[in-house]
Structure 1
Amino acid sequence: MLDVTTARRGTLTNIERLTSTIANGPYDAVLVMSPENVPYYSGFYNMDLRSIPERVHLVIWPRDGEPAFVVTERRAEALQPGDTFLSDIVPYQGEELDSMRAVADTLARMRVTSGRVGIEGRFFPANHLRELQRLAPDVEFVDAFAYLESPRAIKTPAERDLLVQLAHWTTTAIDTAFAAAQVGDSERSISARMQHELLRNGADMIALPVFAAGPRAGLFHPLATDMPVEAGMMVMTDFGGWKDGYFSDIARTAVMGRATDRQRDLYARISDVKHAVVEFIKPGMPASEVARFARAAYAARNLEFKWSIVGHSVGLGIHESPQIYPWVDDPILPGMVMMIELGYHDHPRDSIHVEDMVEITDRGAEYRTDFSRHETIWELGV
């Protein structure tokens, strides 16, 4: 039986929406094993879901009947009351294909020996799927990634509060590290201070330590090096951590020393585009419409669109649906928590990256990170 009320993470799952999705869906059962969906479908989270994926944690949820949680024997023995809201725990041995024996046996016990079973094609290892198909030859295993992700799109109040808190910790960590930075500090020392502050604020782990200065700021997801940050260099971070499996993802750009007129102007125009995009978003609007608006906003400010994504939802995944691209027509709906992410990559010249959290309400998109301190570009070490 599902015991959401006593599970420590029970408020992070909308169990009514989840059970309705499965009961009214096109599959006789679903299997989830991604580090994003397992916590939502089970109430269980541990860093092993991401750091040791070969120790498969897998939820089997039939259309009719109770779900089961397939885990290693060691995990089954270690589970404590409140760790999961699932009560049917199915152990398997080792880190190889015995997990698929446990899955096939459980599907048979649930009387799912034929029909269609939805899986996450993006996450299901090929060897595991081949073994499962061998053990359950009359079952059609179908990629249902978008369907299985969809119950997570609208955040519960507890999810929303956790995401906002984590984003606040992250922006504070960035600001603290930037305020302490001095000309000649290495990229690594500034990034290390930022990571220390985020962990001290309350994050469990660092998830996204992107950091670079000068010509390296225009690279794709660079990590900090021992390079000294000299006066006049742009300083860029795309930074975040995990708390209870949830991500933060904040981007900020500053300049070491005094900014040039060009740096101030470029930063101001990108920030202005971000504000315009946030103001433009209305509930029900397809993501593609926002993406097209953003490109037009760049052009209206005499900027080439030297960028890619305009934004994305965030939660147990760092880039959740809908992602804001011209080819994504999924609607932006009230209750979503999203990152609006704009920039200007012009390697090896000055590059900009800004990213803030918004919540989609019945009125539109509303900021949930305090952007006001970064309305003008920060000058570090002066």
Structure 2
Amino acid sequence: MDQESEEGERRIAEARRRMEAAGLDALLLVSSANAAYLSGYPSPERTLGRALYVLLPLRGAPSVLAQAWRLEEARRYCWMPDVRGYQRLSAVPFEELDRLWEVNRLGAATVGVESGREQRLGLPLQDFEALRAHFGGTRFVDCGDLLWSLRLLKSAAEVARIRAACRITGEAYAATFATATVGQPGRQIVDRMKTEMIRCGGSDPWVLSSFGPGSYELPTEVPPQPPVRRGDILWMDAGCTVGGYWSDFSRAAVVGPPSPEQLQAHAAVHAVTAAAVSLIRPGRPVSEIAAACREGLAGLDLEVTAPLSDLAGRVGHGLGLDVTELPHVAEFDSTLLEAGMVITVEPAVATRYGAFHVEENVLVTEDGFEVLSTAPWELATVPG
């Protein structure tokens, strides 16, 4: 058995253990990161008319139901051997689902679906209502907490993919800042960052940016248009995927020599971040990490023009198959850290001379933590 199949069997076995404890006879997952997690399908189906269904019964063979266009791809990549197809677009494949319901005896069963906290059904509401009416004897209930309990704890294979995505993102930052020039349009710098992540082996690159006065208070995914000028902070928060798993961290450069104010603010915010990261260990509530960030930022002698962490509503989040996952690193979240979790830590402020946010991606280990985003945190310098 190869490593992918072993990983799949481990996930399915753990899911079934938790299903039995929760009184669930099956899970029905549709076109989601959850479906990818349990089936091995490398990418969720983004075309709404081609829903990908994953049915995991408590006992019996799990099944994948893919629209004909995706069928051979699903058979190649899914670790579930029972991969079936359907033809019609933009319609629930009732005939095929009827067969699965019959063989798994789900007519009067309790089936978990993705309807709860930070979940999506993966179907238009009218289609889900039609499905629920069609299987009138089946009780559909939320299984979101069960799914999060599985996905919060990353295996060694999952961590390896996140680590690789972080390495690629760091290499892309270095290459992008090394080739940026004064007077270059901001859009070109953002596009170069995306291109470098792909060149280095990443997929699905994204970049959030703020370049120069007037943008520090508004980080955005809309690439900046004006040419960058001497003294501008070029801040980017970026990520990519490796095998479906995300990186998500920020780094920054300054055009020309940085001012003393910029150096001091960047170092101060990084120190707050590093102090919060140092608290990470199993058993610690994420709320304590968030409180440390709030208290650290409050103690800085900076003329803040935008409290970016407050505006975001948190100072970090989980990371995995989704670029933002539970838990929220926030004082309202009581989640206890466990070994295997991967979280971000990202206290941030804006001033008139820069946005300061040195996000880190961190693995919770048995005895503490490991920073996965190992790219240098210091301000890079763009000649200007």
TM-score of the aligned structures, taking structure 2 as reference length: 0.89
Partner Cα separation in structure 1 for residue 90 and residue 227 of structure 2:
46
Match of 1:322 among 320, 327, 330: 327
Residues 1:39 and 2:36 aligned together? yes
Match of 1:24 among 21, 25, 36: 21
- Please name the residue that 1:97 is paired with: 91
- Please name the residue that 2:354 is paired with: 350
- Please name the residue that 1:268 is paired with: 267
- Please name the residue that 2:367 is paired with: 363
Q: Which amino acid aligns with 1:161?
A: A
Q: Which amino acid aligns with 1:22?
A: M
Q: Which amino acid aligns with 2:22?
A: G
Counterpart mapping for 1:203-222 below 5 A? 203-206=202-205, 208-214=206-212, 215-222=214-221
Counterpart mapping for 1:129-140 below 5 A? 129-140=128-139
Counterpart mapping for 1:41-120 below 5 A? 41-46=38-43, 49-81=44-76, 83-120=77-114
Question: Helix, strand or coil for the counterpart of 1:216?
Answer: coil
Match of 2:380 among 366, 378, 381: 378
Do the aligned residues in 1 keep the contact of 2:210 with 2:234 (CA within 8 Å)? yes
1:63 Cα shift? 1.8
Q: 1:290 to 1:26 in 2, by over 3 A?
A: farther
Q: 1:272 to 1:34 in 2, by over 3 A?
A: farther
Question: Helix, strand or coil for the counterpart of 1:344?
Answer: strand
Q: 1:294 to 1:14 in 2, by over 3 A?
A: farther
- Please name the residue that 1:295 is paired with: 294
Question: Helix, strand or coil for the counterpart of 2:239?
Answer: strand
Q: Which amino acid aligns with 2:209?
A: F
CA RMSD of aligned residues (A): 2.2
Aligned length: 371
Q: 1:311 to 1:191 in 2, by over 3 A?
A: same
Question: Helix, strand or coil for the counterpart of 1:294?
Answer: helix
Deviations 1:184-205 (A, max 9, x none): 1111111122112111111133
- Please name the residue that 2:342 is paired with: 337
Question: Helix, strand or coil for the counterpart of 1:98?
Answer: coil
Q: Name the stretch that deviates more: 103-112 or 313-322.
A: 103-112
Q: Which amino acid aligns with 1:212?
A: S
Do the aligned residues in 2 keep the contact of 1:10 with 1:85 (CA within 8 Å)? no
- Please name the residue that 1:252 is paired with: 251
Identity %: 26
Q: 1:270 to 1:54 in 2, by over 3 A?
A: farther
1:302 Cα shift? 4.2
Q: Which amino acid aligns with 1:344?
A: V
Partner Cα separation in structure 2 for residue 13 and residue 227 of structure 1:
52
Question: Helix, strand or coil for the counterpart of 1:334?
Answer: coil
Q: 1:80 to 1:59 in 2, by over 3 A?
A: closer
Do the aligned residues in 1 keep the contact of 2:293 with 2:315 (CA within 8 Å)? yes
Do the aligned residues in 2 keep the contact of 1:177 with 1:194 (CA within 8 Å)? yes
1:34 Cα shift? 4.2
Question: Helix, strand or coil for the counterpart of 2:326?
Answer: strand
Q: Which amino acid aligns with 1:119?
A: V
Q: Which amino acid aligns with 1:29?
A: A
- Please name the residue that 2:120 is paired with: 123
Partner Cα separation in structure 2 for residue 192 and residue 165 of structure 1:
21
1:338 Cα shift? 2.0
Structure 2 unmatched ranges of 5 or more: none
- Please name the residue that 1:148 is paired with: 147
Do the aligned residues in 2 keep the contact of 1:212 with 1:223 (CA within 8 Å)? no
Do the aligned residues in 1 keep the contact of 2:208 with 2:219 (CA within 8 Å)? no
Do the aligned residues in 2 keep the contact of 1:12 with 1:159 (CA within 8 Å)? no
Structure 1 unmatched ranges of 5 or more: none
Partner Cα separation in structure 1 for residue 3 and residue 135 of structure 2:
32
Q: Name the stretch that deviates more: 117-126 or 7-16.
A: 7-16
Question: Helix, strand or coil for the counterpart of 1:224?
Answer: coil
